[in-house]
Amino acid sequence: MGLNIAVRRPDWRAAVAAGLCALSLAGVPAVGQAQARELPDFTELAERMSPTVVNIRTTERVRSAQGGGEMDDQMREFFRRFGIPLPNTPRRNGPPTAPDEESAPQQRGVGSGFILSADGFVMTNAHVVEGADEVIVTLTDQREFKAKIIGSDKRTDVAVVKIDGTGFPFVKTGDVNKLKVGEWVMAIGSPFGLENTVTAGIVSAKQRDTGDYLPLIQTDVAINPGNSGGPLLNLRGEVVGINSQIYSRSGMFAGISFAIPIDEAMRVADQLRATGRVVRGRIGVTIAPVTKDVAESIGLGKPAGALVQGVEEGGPAQKAGIEAGDIITKVDGRTVDKSGDLPRIIGNTKPGAKATLQVYRRGATRDLAVTVAELEPDQARRVAKAESPASAPKTAIGLTVSDLTEAQRKELKVRGGVRVELAEGAAARAGLREGDVILSVDNVEVVDARQFNAAVAKLDRTKPVSVLVRRGEWTNYAVIRPSK
């Protein structure tokens, strides 16, 4: 006799609905509700902030012996901004322009900006207005104004221009210190001249060191030529940065954009509005990063600080006793974590003020007092150079060295040191070559070839050895590793 069993299939739709209902009742949001809360709505923000953003066009009078060529305005801005030489362009039809003949004003670029105050001060990038004879600012209501350049600062890529009038809508600045990685941000600008274009994304990283004077905010907000100078806004409608650069192999947006932090930009803008220029401090050194190998080999521990490669002759650092090969680890008690921190810290120090630098030299730290000077545009630096003389036997680490002549020591302004005549084996693999000048071995200052050879003879040949090397104008550490 067969057994008939009725099996009831569960209604999965009802079960899911019941589960979601139970989660909602328990205070846990359903998936759709969570997404609705997580994904921001930019409509109100875009409507409110767009009137504060402006389009900037610039013109210049071009002198040319060839009559110039035709090129799309946005492409000109693209080539200028991303460091690509302008290609040869076809000549216009008609008779050639006479040599040195000044043509009519030609549009040279487009960019963006945002209004800082009701009386018409506008912030943008320095590269947007660089070389311009005329700056034209267009508002969202299509009013156009000829703007006056109040000042620009190439080192930070910040500029301030002024339009005449009152009652302009203006931005509110935010606190960059409160900005978080992963936070939603929005940009408004004129990519390719398309005014008031809104794009959005998240903060990808903060304090991104790109080699510029300032650490930058990295985002994935779509930025293209013409966006330069526009605001980066948080969800509260506060400006947290100025969109300035992109990272791209093609020149177009590739998912990585950079913005100048607004707090740093405002410090520059305040000086530009007050005096038309920016005053910064300097101490007269050329620096490089401290690598992990160098830090370990000289006993510094971790790779931190700024390695002094060269010292300006007669500059503040030289007067304070700073030497090539020193590693600057602190300024007035403020830690220099990486080499890029030093110019920013010193740059923000008032010229004429005294600063205490902590330096690491040959295994020990010391404090040196330096009087900060003013950084001038394109400051010329005169750094001692190295040259040559005679020879000696090859050492265990593959170096043949000779004494420096008195004239060479005087030119290099060093007490001792030896010249490399031949680099082989481990020394050659470490990058040393003829003409290099060795100033120290394993944190011991080198006096002459005899003392150098004696010091090398005492080294443990199974361990790496650090040597401080002068090459031309620059000084750096090299780590010589024994063959395995």
- Distance CA(433)–CA(237), nearest Å, equals 57
Q: Which of 73, 153, 157, 341 is catalytic?
A: 157
CA 440/CA 299 separation, integer angstroms: 14
Q: Where are the beta strands (DSSP E) in 313-353?
A: 327-331, 334-335
Q: For the chain, first and last CA: distance in Å?
A: 85
Rounded Cα gap, residues 42 and 125, in angstroms? 25
Which residues on adjacent β-strands are paired with residue 37? none
> What number of other Cβ atoms are within 10 A of residue 248's Cβ?
15
- Select which of 127, 153, 326, 339 is catalytic: 127
Give CA–CA dist 350/156, Å, rounded.
Answer: 17
228 an active-site residue?
Answer: yes
151 to 123, 205, 248: CA distances (angstroms): 10, 29, 29
**Tokens describing residue 310:** 């060269």
Q: How many CB atoms lie within 10 A of CB 230?
A: 34
CB atoms closer than 10 angstroms to residue 409? 15
Question: Could you tell me if 419 and 472 are in contact, meaning their C-beta atoms sit under 8 angstroms apart?
Answer: no
Q: Looking at this protein, which amino acid is placed at residue 483?
A: S
Question: For the chain, how many residues are written?
Answer: 484
77 residue type, one letter:
E
What does the DSSP 8-state code read for residue 396? T
Contact 42, 103 (CB under 8 A): no
CA-to-CA dists, residue 439 to 252, 315, 436, angstroms: 47, 21, 10
CB atoms within 10 A of CB 217: 28
Do the beta carbons of residue 403 and residue 418 sit within 8 Å? yes
Residues 112, 190, 228, 466: which is the catalytic one? 228
Residues noted as catalytic: 127, 157, 228
